[in-house]
Amino acid sequence: MHKLLFDIGNTRLKWALLKDGVMQQQQGLSHDAASDDAIAEIIAGSGCEQLYVANVAGTETERRMHSIAMQSGISDPVFIRTQVQAFGLTNAYDEPQRLGVDRWLAMVAARSLYRRAFYVIDAGSAVTIDAVDAQGQHLGGLIAPGFKNMMNALVHNTSLSTDEWAPPQQVMLENNTQQAMLGGCAAAIAGLINQQVPGDTCLFLTGGDAHWIAAMLDREYELVEGLVLQGIARYAEVA
């Protein structure tokens, strides 16, 4: 059976086809490019028989995806919700449903890959850190601005623009304002991770900024593309 998986984040839509239990190549679009017609074309081109969606972009986006799916012949698309407990993982939140489904799914995927204590860092528009012990108990997490959002906040109400700025390959003292801000924001994110994640604990890195963050860490890590999509796949596999 062919099942299409969608991970709808704050700035991008990512998808992959789960074909007979094997996840195919992951792809993505910015929200600006993800028109109704573009999404319908993705669904039609996949030849899928069912749709599984993780959405953190709000209720209107969910209604829109449901409508597109129905028009594409998918009568009952599945929108995954954060749970109290599933796949050997227990949610730490006092109100479990308020834990972002993307964070939940990233931990579900990591738990399926590693049965000891671990941390998951998902680095995109926000940087999230979540800890899980060897018994699968979520210990809680942290949320910080991602690199682009941090830079946008820093240059707000100035004449500077962040459109073409990218994180530095290494952080050092700089002699111009642009590079000093880039280095400061990159160092803030790397410093948060180095402070909060014990060096002897397994660390999974995922998200659009994971590659450059990994290069700044003086420790071992597992760089995993599409950890949220892998979590969606776990739900699709048992459905």
pLDDT of residue 32: 93
The set of catalytic residues is 102
Which domains, ranges and CATH numbers included, belong to the chain? 2-79 (3.30.420.40), 85-229 (3.30.420.40)
Helix, strand or coil, per DSSP, at residue 162? coil
- CA geometry: angle at 228 spanning 110 and 61, to 5°? 155
Interval 55-111: pLDDT, tens: 999 999 999 999 999 999 998 999 999 999 999 999 999 999 999 999 999 999 999
Characterize the bridge pairing of strands 12-19 and 27-30: antiparallel
pLDDT of residue 1: 86
| Chain position carrying tokens 């963050």 | 213
pLDDT of residue 162: 66
- CA geometry: angle at 191 spanning 187 and 197, to 5°? 150
Interval 126-174: pLDDT, tens: 999 999 999 999 999 999 999 999 999 988 877 777 666 788 888 889 9
Phi, psi of 18 (to 5 degrees): -100, 105
- Which pairs from 22-27 meet CB under 8 Å and 24+ separation? 23/229, 23/230, 23/233, 26/225, 26/226, 26/229
- 206 labeled part of a ligand binding site: no
Model confidence at 177, pLDDT cuts 50, 70, 90, reads confident
- 7 labeled part of a ligand binding site: yes
**Which of 197, 188, 189 lies closest to 222 in space, CA to CA?**
197
- 100 labeled part of a ligand binding site: yes
Compute the average pLDDT of residues 193-208: 95
pLDDT of residue 207: 96
Interval 16-49: pLDDT, tens: 999 999 999 999 999 999 999 999 999 999 999 9
Phi, psi of 92 (to 5 degrees): -90, -15
Does 9 have pLDDT greater than 80? yes
pLDDT of residue 125: 92
- 55 labeled part of a ligand binding site: no
pLDDT of residue 100: 97
- 194 labeled part of a ligand binding site: no
- 72 labeled part of a ligand binding site: no
- 93 labeled part of a ligand binding site: yes
- 148 labeled part of a ligand binding site: no
Does 121 have pLDDT greater than 90? yes
pTM of the model: 0.94
Interval 181-192: pLDDT, tens: 999 999 999 999
- What's the length of the chain? 239
